[in-house]
Structure 1
Amino acid sequence: MERLVLACGGVALNAVDELTPADGVPRVSGCVVPGAGAFELSAHARLTQLKNETKGRQRLGVQAFADAILIVPKVLAQNSGFDAQDSIVKLQETKSKMSGVGGEGPPMAVGFDITT
């Protein structure tokens, strides 16, 4: 593993104690990174659109990847004690409502709130 890190130009750390607080600070200030499955939900929606534009056997690959990427919000839901399928359906419905008619509105990040 150390060879791979060094080959990529990184610094090999063998312990968590060697990390500094600056390692956890975001590199871009003033930005919010959507979490809780927001990226995965948006990627799934875009891949589903892309599948309709793709021809041949490639459609199957795009669909498989779109379905596979939803595993993150599904696991978040399950680990929080919620039903995974119901949570995904609610997230997709909320995202489609927030995006406006036909998805023509501005892109919205919708994530799973595990505290409620």
Structure 2
Amino acid sequence: MKTAILIPILIIGSVYHAFAQQSTKTRHMTISIIETYSGRGHDPNMFINRDDTAQVQKYVEFNLKVKAKDVEAAHENQIMKLLEPYYIDGWKLVTVSSAKILGDENVSRFFFTKDK
């Protein structure tokens, strides 16, 4: 009789303990880089949206003084330098999207998560 009562109590206790262990809170962050090409030059901006803070806007200047054949590689390298501090801080890249809007604007979005 005691074992018939003890076994369900142990099962319920172990199930509760297993679910209590999995209660991690995941934080989310989206970084948007908007690049505008106009007659006056290249004006990129970076917007950082996190679920625990208000939106932060930073001015980003791409300094692409390289040969024409190396422009794409230099551009990618500078984007990686912008995102590197977030990788070091433990953020994990989930998805990336890119779109061209209004003919002269490119938008790149990077969606990150981080377990607390």
TM-score normalised to the size of structure 2?
Answer: 0.29
Structure with larger RCO (C-alpha < 8 A, sep 6+) = 2
Structure ranking higher in strand proportion: 2
Structure ranking higher in helix proportion: 1
Greater Rg over alpha carbons, structure: 2
TM-score normalised to the size of structure 1?
Answer: 0.29
